[in-house]
Chains A and B, each alone.
Chain A
Amino acid sequence: MEIAQIVGIALVTAIMLLILRQEKPVMAVILSIVFSVVLFLFMIDKLASIIEVMTELTRRAGINYFFLSTLLKILGVAYLGEFTASICNDAGEQAVAKKVEFAAKIIIAVLALPILVAILESLLELMPG
Chain B
Amino acid sequence: MQLLSEIVRNVIVIIIIASFLELLLPQGTLQPLVRFAIGLFILIAVLNPVMGFLLQDVNHTIECWNFQADMHEQEEIMQQGKKLNEQILKSNQQLLQEKVEGQIGAVAMLVPGIEEVETMVSINDQGGMEKIEMIILPESADPPLVDGKVGVLGLNYQSLSAEEKKKVEAKVRRVVKDLYGFKDEQIKIEFKGG
Q: Which residues of A contact B (CB under 8 A)?
A: 54, 57-58, 61-68, 70-72, 74-75, 78-79, 81-83, 85, 101, 104-105, 108-109, 111-112, 115-116, 118-119, 121-123, 125-126
Looking at the complex, which one of A64, A68, A108, A126 makes contact with B66 (CB distance below 8 Å)?
A64
In the complex, the answer to whether A112 meets B24 with C-beta atoms within 8 Å is no
Min CB distance, A78 to chain B, in Å?
4
Min CB distance, A100 to chain B, in Å?
10
Chain A residues positioned under 8 Å from B59 (CB to CB): 122, 125
Is B89 located at the chain interface by the 8 A CB criterion? no
Give the docked Cα–Cα distance between A119 and B45 (Å).
11
Q: Which residues of B contact A (CB under 8 A)?
A: 9-10, 13-14, 16-18, 20-21, 24-26, 28-31, 33-34, 36-38, 40-41, 43-45, 47, 51, 54-55, 58-59, 61-62, 64-68
Give the docked Cα–Cα distance between A119 and B21 (Å).
22
In the complex, the answer to whether A78 meets B45 with C-beta atoms within 8 Å is no
In the complex, the answer to whether B34 meets A68 with C-beta atoms within 8 Å is no
Looking at the complex, which one of A65, A104, A126 makes contact with B51 (CB distance below 8 Å)?
A126
In the complex, the answer to whether A68 meets B17 with C-beta atoms within 8 Å is yes
Chain A residues positioned under 8 Å from B64 (CB to CB): 118
Min CB distance, A99 to chain B, in Å?
12
Min CB distance, A57 to chain B, in Å?
7
In the complex, the answer to whether A54 meets B44 with C-beta atoms within 8 Å is no
Looking at the complex, which one of A63, A101, A104, A112 makes contact with B45 (CB distance below 8 Å)?
A63
A-B contact pairs, 21 of them (CB 8 A): A58-B17, A61-B9, A61-B10, A61-B13, A63-B10, A64-B66, A64-B68, A67-B41, A70-B37, A71-B38, A75-B21, A78-B25, A81-B30, A83-B26, A101-B30, A105-B33, A112-B33, A115-B40, A116-B40, A119-B47, A122-B59
